[in-house]
Amino acid sequence: MNYVNLDKTDGLKKLNSLKRTAVKELLTPERVHTSDIPLGGGLRYNWAAMPVSDEAVSALQDLADETELVDKYREILKGEVMNTGEKRLVLHHLTRGNVLGQSVMADGEDKGAFYSSVLDSIKSFSEKVRNGEIKGSTGKAIKTVCQIGIGGSDLGPRALYLALKGWADGCGIKTLNAEFISNVDPDDAAAVIKRLDFETTLFILVSKSGTTQETLTNRDLVLETLKSSPIPGLVPSKHMVAVTSKTSPLAKDSSMLASFFIDDYIGGRYSSTSAVGGTVLSLAFGFDTFRALLDGAHEEDVKATEKDITKNGALMDALIGFYLRNILGYPSTAILPYSQALSRFPAHLQQLDMESNGKHVNRFGEKVSYPTGPVIFGEPGTNGQHSFYQLLHQGTDIVPLQFIGFRNCQYGQDIETAGSTSQKKLNANLSAQIAAFARGKEDENTNKEFDGNRPSSLIYGDKLTPEALGALLAHYENKVMFQGFIWNLNSFDQEGVQLGKVLAKKVLAGCEGDELLKAYADLLI
């Protein structure tokens, strides 16, 4: 594989030499229809309002070929050690299907078969809970599942649960309510616990290592609350399952009703299609719903093997994002879903992108000389229009935008008022925003003048279904992966989160002679 530093590539030199073309100069009705790439799950990616000319697209294709982006993706799929920092395989794609059709062996086992066996266990257990065969300790059916985890054990599963709730209700699918406890702040757990009926609640404790401080603290808080409950016959061990590794302390914990396994080859922020997301989603919506999400993700994973960037939406999105970051110098990107169901999806993408590619050294440990991952933020439209769009339209910084929209709503509850439905009004706003950001508006009153040339892309489809959601998730995972390859980063470790954890333990141990730590601790503890 070619792991040459970005600043030494011919592709970067060529891109820097190109004439930079403004969105206003490029955007035409014809371009809207031709700059469109099919994704999995019935979705499409449209990049018409991005400042990339045909010449720039050709140069981006050359860069993709020179840096062997798709070939590196195929190395991941083959089971090569691509997490160089931790010397691990990267196998989250394998949790939703085998793209290349060849076995991946590690730890003396076929990893595809291992992930399939975990799915079988989740399917069997979730069906027994949902049909009442497995009940709470007092004999009542389970009505609520509560996931205890943090980071990738919370953000992705929570975002996906919220994204599918309206779809499931709209389809008349039996659902179990889901709650999430993540923050070590005791008020987070207390607020959730207050809403729960312990007799009908099943807790899902998620920690790959079985040693995550925040998660174990919240587990203990929950267990103490259960043990002190006056409910006759309540047995806490009948109300908690674990998602963990085979070697963690939780795997042998007799206080767990069941355990579902993950391994070190599934990074936390990439774990939503493993047991981390599969357990809670299968319990909440049924295993078939989770299986459909996996199928949508797998379809998109297959499409990501295409080397022609005009046919590979994740690769095109990654390359355009690189162009915005490294050629045009834009340091941030806004994710703007025009779907209330995706209210927590930008928060998941913050972790996915910023934890993966927020790196200052390359995969060889050398400091890079170019910008890497952008700052990610976002909020659903149209709420965001009444919040931070002022800066996006007329601020001094240009922020690239990624819109997400659907033709139809999930619940099916909509009425026509003032000549249009709410969904049409929502999508009218989305369409208008893309045009307004791109074209701007001239006005004699400079306060009402819009410069335009604000770049944006659009991911769209008919409806947010499990298949579409799986494809959307995989699109962003693969986009981040490809960008990590471009920047020659290891996108699969997260050393940047470790220092604070180490120092927090030092504070709890009395600061151990560190006077600066003690000074701050004295203010708060």
Active-site residue identified among 33, 424, 501, 505: 501
Query: Taking Cα atoms as reference points, which of 97, 35, 59 lies closest to residue 455?
Result: 35
DSSP state, residue 248: S
332-337 sheet: strands from edge to edge? 36-38, 44-46, 456-461, 401-406, 332-337, 375-378
CA distance 145 to 182: 14
Active-site residue identified among 386, 424, 441, 505: 386
Please tell me whether residue 147 adopts helix, strand or coil conformation: strand
DSSP state, residue 488: T
User: Which residues are CB-contacts of 333 (< 8 A; sequence separation ≥ 6)?
Assistant: 321, 324, 374, 375, 376, 399, 400, 401, 402
What residue ranges in 70-140 does DSSP mark as E strands? 81-83, 88-89, 105-106, 109-110
Please tell me whether residue 178 adopts helix, strand or coil conformation: strand
**DSSP secondary structure string, 379-409?**
--TTGGGGTTHHHHHHSSS---EEEEEESS-
Contacts 24+ apart (CB under 8 A), 228-237: 229/198, 231/138, 231/198, 231/199, 232/138, 233/137, 233/138, 234/137, 234/138, 234/198, 234/199, 235/137
Active-site residue identified among 199, 214, 300, 355: 355
Catalytic-residue membership of 93:
no
CA distance 510 to 501: 15
Query: Taking Cα atoms as reference points, which of 413, 407, 404, 405 lies closest to residue 462?
Result: 407
CA distance 310 to 301: 16
Catalytic-residue membership of 208:
no
Catalytic-residue membership of 13:
no
Strands 420-421 vs 416-417: parallel, antiparallel or unpaired: antiparallel
DSSP state, residue 270: G
**Catalytic residue annotation:** 355, 386, 501
